[in-house]
Amino acid sequence: MGWYGPLVAMKALTSTRGVTIYAVAERAGVSIATVSRALRDPGLVAEATRARVEAAVAELNFMPSRLGRSLAEGRHAANGIVFPDLVGPNYAEVLLGNEEAAADLGRSVLILGTRGRADPTAQVLDLAGRVDGLVVMGQTVADDVVAAIAASGPPVVLLARPPVAGADTVTAENEAAGAELARHLLGHGYRRFAFLGDPAGSPDVAGRYAGIAGALADAGVRPPAPLRCAFDVTAGHEAAVTLLKRRTRPQAVICANDEVALGVQEACADHGLDIPTDLALTGWDDVMTARFVGLTTIRQPMRDLGATAARWLHERINQMTGPARTKVLPTQLVVRRSCGPHDPD
Amino acid sequence: MGWYGPLVAMKALTSTRGVTIYAVAERAGVSIATVSRALRDPGLVAEATRARVEAAVAELNFMPSRLGRSLAEGRHAANGIVFPDLVGPNYAEVLLGNEEAAADLGRSVLILGTRGRADPTAQVLDLAGRVDGLVVMGQTVADDVVAAIAASGPPVVLLARPPVAGADTVTAENEAAGAELARHLLGHGYRRFAFLGDPAGSPDVAGRYAGIAGALADAGVRPPAPLRCAFDVTAGHEAAVTLLKRRTRPQAVICANDEVALGVQEACADHGLDIPTDLALTGWDDVMTARFVGLTTIRQPMRDLGATAARWLHERINQMTGPARTKVLPTQLVVRRSCGPHDPD
DNA sequence: CTGAAAGCGCTAACAG
DNA sequence: CTGTTAGCGCTTTCAG
């Protein structure tokens, strides 16, 4: 849809702006309606007529205007995706997964980062006016904004964010994975834990912490209070310095994401502490670095998150109705050496 | 532009689709032209009238249609960016830098990945029809397509790709950096080198290889023939296996990017070879992992590349004329332990 | 099977 | 200062 085969595609390479459907119609000696039909559904037009139109199109290198078409059709053939500040290397995967799936469905993708911008709300609303569907990732805009768009604007799919009325939601498993991670660490025999990250700052972290705390409590171990810190290496490093000053050192440090864990690792190196001998360490996300430094972590299906959002949006755009859906994609515990020695089995 | 202050922004949260400028005009008892003026340039309208219009806008929660506006204005208020397959973690930075700068200039960004898609040409041409300017990164589409778009479509800025007539070009320094890297390795005393990567597959790699080969030749060292391989860890690993089978082992392995180097590192570990004792190793890009494994590499200003492209595009869109420009952004040699011992100074 | 004509929603002369 | 009136480029009834 929107394209007319390789031949025309190549000819269009030398096209000139401003060739309208009127020019084509005149050249072919037909009405614009016929040109439109010939292009949109060749079956509606007599063989001979179609040939004349195609010839005219080729000679004039006509390319229909998206704007004209969209205005007439009332749709943009595009989706939007709003992503938060925490666009670490892995979050870009969500974008790519989304774009790929959207492209397969014939839609373009408009991106909007909210990296410390003045008024995300205004920008998101503007974006909502340019698309047929919107993916909102994380805490980029307030719930009421999301609800309003979902109610009277394009359909919305939420990603890595708690559900909001009227919008579908896709997330990665956090709580269960946190519990599994905690149980794994308990299996190592650790009983004194630390948690680095801010549950209040992100629903993802809140879920992870909840799962961890729950599993620890179930095992009769008192969950550590979170040591709040931002989402990057520096923050992890600083938090670790604070942590290591305490009277009793934890046996295992669970971090909200890999970058924080890497910061901790740095700090430990500075203090001459060995991982995992002196301290067990875990992250979250399975960024590439985790593999190379042997960091135990949780792998998330980033690409799938983006792709699922694109597909769900497509369904909603195509009139699918029904109550808001929710999907939790499975994550995977990736055990490496940072959490302690394992029997090779 | 396109937004009318926080008050209206918040009211719009409960807006309903389909409120047109006609409804507002009727409600305010004025013509649509007056509504348009009041919104676009309040100075053109009498104080009292403006108040009435604003009231109507607020009550109806009117939000002008981008499509209608764009069609009338003849512009999209959006840019596009086409990026290649090699979207490693760092390439996403280009996207983000571009989006950020574009947003500052009041334009949205449409993305298009060409990850092994059937017909990039068609998709790129389609994209060209949706934007006021286009960033084309790497070898995503043929030169003639770029030239054609630049000639009769929106302005084009090329990123990390050799210049094409009619389009501005922004790249990161490759050749000089390659030469600097080679000289650094020569300074370590190495004389037998290997190069992993495919100069024919990417202009970036070609530049890097050229710089390296030149510097080696200048030093009377015969440049190694490239051992061609793809851009990822697996390819690097496999290439290294091949390399290590050779009669004489190189003293230093220069890789086209960090991921390839990491693959080499893995292979060396498998073979019980220590880096840098048994083999010196370098990458390119300075991905996060490079820092944590101590890989000597070249850092590129990814964000700047994207931002510069956005700004240049904006200038061209705003009627700036003149011959195609070219800019080469500086890169930086980042020396770490993988290339051999250095005196602490 | 094809043409005429009415929009889609907004901007921008052109008159008052 | 404000209203009228053309479009912007295309899709889509409605007739024929």
Query: For chain B, which residues score pLDDT lower than 50?
Result: 1-15
| pLDDT for the residue A139 | 87
Q: What phi and psi values does residue A28 have, to the nearest 5 degrees?
A: -90, -5
For residue A71, list chain B residues with Cβ-Cβ distance below 8 A: 67-68, 71
State which protein residues have CB closer than 7 Å to strand D.
A 18, 20-22, 32-33, 36-37, 39-40, 62-65, 67-69, 71-73; B 29-34, 37, 44-46, 48-50, 71-72, 74
Q: Indicate the SS3 state at residue A253.
A: strand
Is the whole-model pTM more than 0.75?
yes
Closest to B96 (Cα-Cα) out of B135, B127, B66, B126: B135
| pLDDT for the residue B86 | 64
Query: Distance between CA B260 and CA B266 in Å, rounded?
Result: 10
| pLDDT for the residue B334 | 98
| pLDDT for the residue A163 | 96
| pLDDT for the residue A16 | 55
The Cα of B218 is separated from the nearest Cα of chain A by a number of Å equal to: 36
Q: How many residues does chain A have?
A: 345
Query: Distance between CA B258 and CA B238 in Å, rounded?
Result: 15
Tell me if A112 sits within 8 A of B99, measured CB to CB.
yes
| pLDDT for the residue B5 | 33
Q: How many residues does chain B have?
A: 345
pLDDT tens across the length of chain A (345 residues): 333 333 334 444 444 567 999 999 999 999 999 999 999 999 999 999 999 999 999 999 999 999 999 999 999 999 999 998 766 677 888 999 999 999 999 999 999 999 878 789 999 999 999 999 999 999 899 999 999 999 989 999 999 999 999 999 999 999 999 999 999 999 999 999 999 999 998 889 999 999 999 999 999 999 999 999 998 999 999 999 999 999 899 999 999 999 999 999 999 999 999 999 999 999 999 999 999 999 999 999 999 999 999 999 999 999 888 999 999 999 999 999 999 988 755
Q: Which residue has 């490759």 as its token pair?
A: B174
CA A58 to C1' D7, in angstroms, rounded, equals: 26
Query: Distance between CA B145 and CA B124 in Å, rounded?
Result: 9
Closest to A38 (Cα-Cα) out of A29, A30, A27, A50: A50
B181-210 residues near strand C (Cβ < 7 Å)? none
Tell me if B78 sits within 8 A of A130, measured CB to CB.
yes
Q: In sequence order, what are the residues at sequence separation of 6 or more whose Cβ sits closer than 8 angstroms to the Cβ of residue A300?
A: A90, A172, A284, A285, A286, A329, A331
Q: What is the pLDDT of residues A208-264, one digit of tens each?
A: 999 999 999 999 999 999 999 998 999 999 999 999 999 899 999 999 999 999 999
Q: If you measure CA to CA, which chain A residue comes closest to B102?
A: A112
Q: Indicate the SS3 state at residue B171.
A: strand
| pLDDT for the residue A345 | 52
| pLDDT for the residue B2 | 32
Helix axis angle for A175-187 and A203-218, nearest 10°, is 40
For residue A122, list chain B residues with Cβ-Cβ distance below 8 A: 3, 6, 9
Look at A95 and B111 and tell me if their CB atoms are within 8 Å.
Answer: yes
For residue B101, list chain A residues with Cβ-Cβ distance below 8 A: none
Q: Indicate the SS3 state at residue B287.
A: coil
Query: Distance between CA A109 and CA B83 in Å, rounded?
Result: 13
| Structure-block tokens of residue A260 | 């924080």
| pLDDT for the residue B13 | 41
Tell me if B15 sits within 8 A of B61, measured CB to CB.
yes
Query: Distance between CA B3 and CA A122 in Å, rounded?
Result: 7
CA B45 to C1' C10, in angstroms, rounded, equals: 18
| pLDDT for the residue A116 | 75
Tell me if B172 sits within 8 A of B326, measured CB to CB.
no
Q: Indicate the SS3 state at residue A46.
A: coil
Q: What is the pLDDT of residues B235-246, one digit of tens each?
A: 999 999 999 999
Tell me if A263 sits within 8 A of A238, measured CB to CB.
yes
Closest to B252 (Cα-Cα) out of B212, B291, B210: B212
For B116, other C-beta atoms within 10 Å of its C-beta total 8
| pLDDT for the residue A128 | 96
| pLDDT for the residue A344 | 59
| pLDDT for the residue A201 | 85
| pLDDT for the residue B256 | 96
Q: In sequence order, what are the residues at sequence separation of 6 or more whose Cβ sits closer than 8 angstroms to the Cβ of residue A301?
A: A172, A329, A330, A331
CB-closest option in A96, A99, A152 to B17: A152
Query: Distance between CA A331 and CA A176 in Å, rounded?
Result: 9
Q: A13: Cβ under 7 Å from strand C?
A: no
| pLDDT for the residue B141 | 93
| pLDDT for the residue A17 | 66
Q: Which residue has 């229909």 as its token pair?
A: A64
Instruction: Give the burial string for A22-31 (b: 16+ CB within 10 Å, else e).
Output: ebbbebbebe
Question: Which positions of chain D lie under 7 Å from any protein Cβ?
Answer: 1-5, 7-13
β-pairing, A108-113 vs B108-113, is: antiparallel
Give yes or no for a cis peptide into B276 (omega within 30° of 0). yes
| pLDDT for the residue B119 | 83
